Amino acid sequence: MVELHELHLQDLQNPLHPSTFEEYKDYRILVLRLPEKMSQKSKITSYGFILAEDSVYFYDKKHKDFNQLPDALDEMYRFLDGKIDTLMHDIETIQEIIVSLEENLYSKFSSAFMDQWHNLKKELSRSERIILKAVDTLRLFIAKSKISDQFPLNEFSDLHEHLERTLRSNIAANDQLDNLYRYYNLRSGDRMNRSIYILTIISVIFLPLNLVVGFFGMNTGGLPFQGHPLGTAYAFMTMIIFAAILTTAVLWKIKKS
């Protein structure tokens, strides 16, 4: 094992170190930061590798030690391929969750939609930034390493293509969430407009009735039906007729428009 600079060792020990590729005199450092278990309680993990001549070492953060990979770059490829395949599966699972969320939104409008939407949006927005950085880092690593005849170019190019495909799927899921959010806002605005419209109609009908009630409630003489034994009934019938006329006028106006 080559002797590492103290700062480089600290970078490898950092569980949140961003994806990076650096070349030094005696060794090269590759760190790929990838999201894990996105469909559950996700976490972000950085995987660090030291490449020295024909040897490749993986830094085990749990045991704080370097493990030499027997098959060097081939084993490094298999390790990263497994992690990226798992990430692709997680993205596909989230896409299925979004489809289910979309179907539920179309069939039954619910305010609980925003809680689910917010959690998914947070996961996808964060993972998109992380995967994009990993794609650029892996591209740089391949470009710097392909000059060697011993470098498995086809394998790592395939690995890079899988990571790019994962990024595209992540972006597509993010866009799908944005479309659902716009649809939800349209439905919410439509429901609000309908409620305001109904309240406006009720106001149009009952505000004049309040005027009639206020008129008959004045403590002055000479009011209609004041001395009649059925005055209250007549006044009530008058308000009912007045309300019926207003309702008919409003409904006719709605039908005409």
Put the strands of the sheet holding 55-60 in their side by side order: 20-23, 28-36, 43-52, 55-60, 65-68
pTM above 0.85, yes or no: no
CB atoms under 10 Å from CB of 189, counted, come to: 10
- Residues 76 and 29: beta-carbon distance below 8 Å: no
- Residues 86 and 36: beta-carbon distance below 8 Å: yes
C-alpha span between 50 and 78 (Å, rounded): 16
Query: Which domain does 216 fall in, by range?
Result: 192-256
Please state the domain count of the chain. Answer: 2
Q: Which of 146, 172, 191 is the last residue of a domain?
A: 191
Give the mean pLDDT per block of 10 residues along the chain (257 residues).
83 89 92 82 86 90 88 94 92 90 81 84 91 95 90 94 95 93 84 78 72 66 66 74 76 71
Q: Which of 172, 191, 210 is the last residue of a domain?
A: 191
**Quick check: is 1 in a domain?**
no
> Which amino acid does the sequence have at 182?
R
Residues 72 and 134 both lie in one domain: yes
What pLDDT does 150 receive?
86
Taking the CA atoms of 2, 33, 85 and 149 in sequence, report the sign of the dihedral they define: negative
Tokens of 191: 């429901």
Residues 202 and 185 both lie in one domain: no
Residues 44 and 78 both lie in one domain: yes
Tokens of 239: 């308000």
